[in-house]
Amino acid sequence: MKKKLLELEKNALKALEIADDPSELEKIRVTYLGKKGQLTSIMKNVGELPKSERPEAGKLANIIKSNISKGFEEARDRIVIGKGDQAAFLDVTLPGREPLRGHLHPITLVIKEMCQIFARMGFTVVKGPNVELDYYNFEALNFPKDHPARDMQDTLYVSENVVLRTHTSNMQVRIMEAQKPPLSVIAPGKVYRRDSDVSHTPMFHQLEGFLVDKDVSFGDLKGTLTSFAHQMFGRGTALRFRPSFFPFTEPSAEVDIQCVLCGGKGCRTCSHTGWLEILGSGMIDPEVFRFVGYDPEVYSGFAFGMGFERIAMLKYGIDDIQLFFKNDMRFLRQF
């Protein structure tokens, strides 16, 4: 058998060496390496040899197979490239490779979804500057200079009177200053604070919403936010309003939704309380109306503000906010 194999190797390599067109090459391949080819039939006989000879014969057959394959590839390169005939080996029946398709970032998806929900309720979408005057970010929202409420937001200053906006509430003042009631507006956008850990990044996204008209009540605020939560997290989602403080709303409330992961039973995500805080809200403070020239005796309104990252983390079950901005394709590809 050893002799047969060596003989076969010699013949095959010789044939490959003198072959000079693709169809001849293919014939050689079939003759020696094909399913019914000579090498294959010899290899089938290995099993009939005495047990002690089998390993050596098998090993030799494999070496010869790989030598012939290598010879085949060399001959193919020589013939195809030599003749400049790549097409001879182009198999047009193979399935194509699908190009990588781009898609929207998870935060963009959540921004779109939330804006659509509020737009359906009649809110107009506006955008505003990220580099903002202290006046719009703080002063006219009833945060006087040196007011302790400013400490809640670790502000990045551009200069003494110019900041990177710490929240989208600046849009309340900008829009009310420019328009007369009635109005209902949402303002999505980037905001900045000097903060970084698993639940904070120096840049994040907020949605501000506000509505001003005659006879607006806290009930209107509750109804609007309840409708939002039901559309975003499911119809039965319970809401809880907790008294809070913001300089630009009075009264103010922080709003929790029933934990979307445990349904309110208590789990790690909701710190076993059954509730998740999602936003700040309240009735617009008369002081803010005075800054923009509205008569607080005639008009009333509500406002709310929430973070898109927080909503996206709850919606998709993400426990580290930094993932949104690391640009790791293994994370981003999942949306």
3-state per-residue secondary structure call for 273-291: CCEEEEEEEEEECHHHHHH
**Site membership for ligand DAH, residue 37 (CB under 6 A):** no
Q: Output phi, psi for 89, to 5 deg.
A: -110, 15
Site for ligand DAH in 49-88 (CB under 6 A): none
Measured from the CB atom, the residue of 76 and 310 that comes closer to ligand DAH is 310
CB 75 within 8 A of CB 285: no
**Site membership for ligand DAH, residue 174 (CB under 6 A):** no
Segment near ligand DAH (CB under 6 A); pick from 90-98, 100-108, 279-287, 309-317? 279-287
Nearest to 169 by CA among 309, 307, 305: 305
**Site membership for ligand DAH, residue 256 (CB under 6 A):** no
For residues 195 and 91, give the distance between their C-alpha atoms in angstroms, rounded to a whole number. Answer: 56
For residues 246 and 269, give the distance between their C-alpha atoms in angstroms, rounded to a whole number. Answer: 26
Q: Which of 165, 167, 174, 205 binds ligand DAH (CB under 6 A)?
A: 167
Nearest to 260 by CA among 223, 229, 225: 229
Site for ligand DAH in 291-320 (CB under 6 A): 303-305
Measured from the CB atom, the residue of 218 and 325 that comes closer to ligand DAH is 218
Q: Which of 281, 300, 309, 310 binds ligand DAH (CB under 6 A)?
A: 281
**Site membership for ligand DAH, residue 106 (CB under 6 A):** no
For residues 25 and 213, give the distance between their C-alpha atoms in angstroms, rounded to a whole number. Answer: 85
**Site membership for ligand DAH, residue 188 (CB under 6 A):** no
Binding mask 193-232 for ligand DAH (x = CB under 6 A): ---------------x------------------------
Task: Using CB under 6 A, list all residues that contact ligand DAH.
Answer: 167, 169, 208, 246, 249, 280-282, 303-305
